[in-house]
Chain A
Amino acid sequence: MSHAATHDQHDDHHGAPKNFFQRWCMSTNHKDIGTLYLIFALTMFFIGGSFAMVIRAELFKPGLQLVQPYFFNEMTTLHALVMIFGAIMPAFVGLGNWMIPLMVGAPDMALPRMNNLSFWILPFAFTLLLSTLFMPGGSAAGGWTMLPPLSLQSSSLAYTVFAIHLMGISSIMGAINIIATILNMRAPGMDLLKMPVFVWSWLITAFLLIAVMPVLAGAVTMLLTDKYFGTNFFNPGGGGDPVLYQHIFWFFGHPEVYIMILPAFGIISEVIPTFSRKPIFGYKAMVFAIASIAFLSFIVWAHHMFTVGLPLGADIFFMYATMLIAVPTGVKVFNWVSTMWGGSMTFETPMLFAIAFVILFTIGGFSGLMLAMVPADFQYHDTYFVVAHFHYVLVTGALFAIISATYYWLPKWTGRMYSEFWGKVHFWNSVIWVNVLFFPQHFLGLAGMPRRIPDYNVAFANFNMISSIGGFLFGASQLIFLGVLIHCAFFSRKKAADRVWEGAKGLEWTVPSPAPYHTFDVPPVIHEGDLAHGHPND
Chain B
Amino acid sequence: MGQQHDAYFVPTKSYWPFVAAVVMFTTVFGAAHWLNAEPGDASFGKTVLGIGFVGVLAMFFGWFRSVIRESLAGSYNSQVDTSFRMGMMWFIFSEVMFFGAFFGALFYIRMFSIPWLGGEGRGVLTHEFLWNHYAAAWGADGGNGPQHIGGAFHTVPAWGLPLLNTLILLSSSVTVTIAHHALRAGHRGKILVFLGLTVLLGALFLNFQAHEYIEAYRELHLTLHSGVYGATFFMLTGFHGLHVTLGTIMLAVIWFRVLKGHFNKEHHFGFEAVAWYWHFVDVVWLALFMFVYIL
Which residues of A from 15 to 62 have beta carbons under 8 Å from B?
Answer: 17, 22, 25-28
Which residues in window 187-214 of A have CB below 8 A to B? 188, 210-214
Q: Smallest CB–CB gap between A139 and chain B, Å? A: 12
Q: Provide the main secondary structure of the chain A interface.
A: helix
B28 touches which one: A27, A128, A186 (CB < 8 A)?
Answer: A128
Q: How far is the CB of B92 from chain A (nearest CB, A)?
A: 10
B31 touches A162 (CB 8 A): yes
Q: Given A1, A28, A107, A233, which contacts B14 in the complex, CB threshold below 8 Å?
A: A28
A143 within 8 A of B: no
B24 at the interface (CB under 8 A from A): yes
Q: How far does the Cβ of A97 sit from chain B's closest Cβ, in whole Å?
A: 14
Check: A14 CB closer than 8 A to any chain B CB. Answer: no
Q: How far is the CA of A520 from the CA of B126 in the complex (A)?
A: 65
- Give the contacting residue for B109; candidates A106, A166, A176, A241; CB below 8 A: A241
Interchain CB contact under 8 A, B86 and A3? no
Q: How far apart are the CA atoms of A120 and B101 in the complex, in Å?
A: 27
CB distance from A121 to the nearest CB of B (A): 5
Say whether B113 contacts A7, CB under 8 Å: no
Q: Is the CB of A121 within 8 A of B90?
A: no
Point out the residues of chain B lying under 8 angstroms from A186, CB to CB. Answer: 1
Q: What's the least CB distance linking B100 to chain A, in Å?
A: 7
Instruction: Verify if A110 is at the interface (C-beta below 8 Å from B).
Output: yes
Q: Kindly identify which residue among A116, A117, A218, A228 contacts B35, using a CB–CB cutoff of 8 Å.
A: A228
Any B CB within 8 A of the CB of A6? yes
A244 at the interface (CB under 8 A from B): yes
With contacts A210-B94, A232-B145 known, is A9 near B11, CB below 8 A? yes
Interface assignment of B95: CB less than 8 Å from any CB of chain A:
yes
A521, B113: Cβ atoms under 8 Å?
no
Q: Is A376 an interface residue (CB 8 A)?
A: no
Cβ B109 vs Cβ A121 within 8 A: no
- Whether A248 touches B231, Cβ cut-off 8 Å, given contacts A7-B7, A523-B5, is no
Q: How many residues of A contact B (CB 8 A)?
A: 95
CB distance from B144 to the nearest CB of A (A): 6
Residue of A nearest to B146 (CB): A237
Most chain A beta-carbon neighbours within 10 Å: one of B83, B98, B112, B225: B83
B207: interface (CB < 8 Å): no
Q: In the docked arrangement, what's the CA distance between A166 and B227, Å?
A: 29
Q: A479 at the A/B interface (Cβ < 8 Å)? A: no
- Chain A nearest CB from B74 CB (Å) reads 6
Q: Are B108's CB and A247's CB within 8 A?
A: yes
Q: Which chain A positions have C-beta within 8 A of B36?
A: 155-159
| B201 CB–A CB distance under 8 Å | no
Q: Mark B14-54, 1 if CB is under 8 A from A, else 0.
A: 11111011101100110110011000000000000000000
Q: Which of A11, A215, A238 has the most chain B CB atoms inside 10 A of its CB?
A: A238
Q: Which residue of B70, B143, B145 is within 8 Å of A235 (Cβ)? A: B145
Give the nearest-CB partner of A2 in chain B. B74
Chain A residue at smallest Cβ distance from B101 = A218
Q: Is A127 an interface residue (CB 8 A)?
A: yes
Query: Is A27's CB under 8 angstroms from B231's CB?
Result: no
Chain B nearest CB from A76 CB (Å) reads: 22
| A217 CB-CB contact with B under 8 Å | yes
- Chain A min CB distance to B60 (Å): 12
Of listed A177, A221, A241, residue having the most chain B CB within 10 A? A241
> Which residues of chain A have C-beta atoms less than 8 A from B235's C-beta?
221-222, 225, 231
- For B15, the chain A residues whose CB sits under 8 A away are 25-26
Chain A positions within 8 Å of B16 at CB level = 113
Binds A, one of B114-122, B190-198, B285-293: B114-122
Residues 211-256 of A at the B interface (beta carbon under 8 Å): 211-215, 217-219, 221-222, 224-225, 228-233, 235-241, 244, 247-248, 251
Contact of A233 among B94, B97, B228 (CB under 8 A): B228
A residues near B113, Cβ cutoff 8 Å: 236, 239-241, 244
A contact residues around B144 at 8 Å (CB): 232, 238-239
Q: Tell me whether A117 and B20 are in contact (CB under 8 A).
A: yes
Contact check: which of B13, B18, B70 meets A17 at CB < 8 Å?
A: B13
- The 6 closest A-B CB pairs, nearest first, are A218-B101, A239-B145, A231-B231, A237-B147, A120-B21, A214-B98
A-B contact pairs, 13 of them (CB 8 A): A5-B74, A124-B22, A156-B36, A159-B32, A172-B91, A210-B93, A219-B101, A221-B235, A232-B227, A236-B145, A238-B145, A244-B105, A244-B113
Beyond the given pairs A2-B74, A239-B114, 7 more chain A to chain B contacts, judged by CB atoms under 8 angstroms and listed by A's residue number, are: A155-B36, A162-B28, A175-B90, A184-B79, A185-B79, A214-B100, A523-B5
